[in-house]
Amino acid sequence: MAQEDLNPKTEDVPAGGSNTEKDPTDWVTGEEPMTGAQASYLKTLSEEAGESFDAGMTKAQASQRIDELRERSGRAGR
């Protein structure tokens, strides 16, 4: 099957997951600077956890750090 024939909307959903979730390391824009929304949320989570905030993270790094801090803070289920 040619690359242009692939349709992510009709492909099988990965086991135990969703085809709408993608590992941040696989994001096309993952190396771009984090968004303003990511920075704001990450800063809040960092302050709540008593940890430093790194404003120089990429989108992918920020997403992973947010997930980590949410998990540790108990916000992951919300």
Do the domain assignments include residue 43?
Answer: yes
Do the domain assignments include residue 35?
Answer: yes
Do the domain assignments include residue 68?
Answer: yes
Q: Which residues of 26-57 are buried (b: 16+ CB within 10 A; e: fewer)?
A: eeeebeeebeeebbebbeebbeeeeeeeeeeb
Structural domains counted in the chain: 1
Do the domain assignments include residue 55?
Answer: yes
Say if residue 57's pLDDT is above 90.
yes
- Are the CB atoms for 41 and 74 separated by under 8 Å? no
pLDDT digits (tens, 9 = 90+) for 30-51: 688 999 999 999 999 999 999 9
Specify the pTM: 0.63
Do the domain assignments include residue 17?
Answer: no
Say if residue 74's pLDDT is above 60.
yes
Nearest to 63, CA basis, from 15, 17, 27, 13 = 27
Do the domain assignments include residue 19?
Answer: no
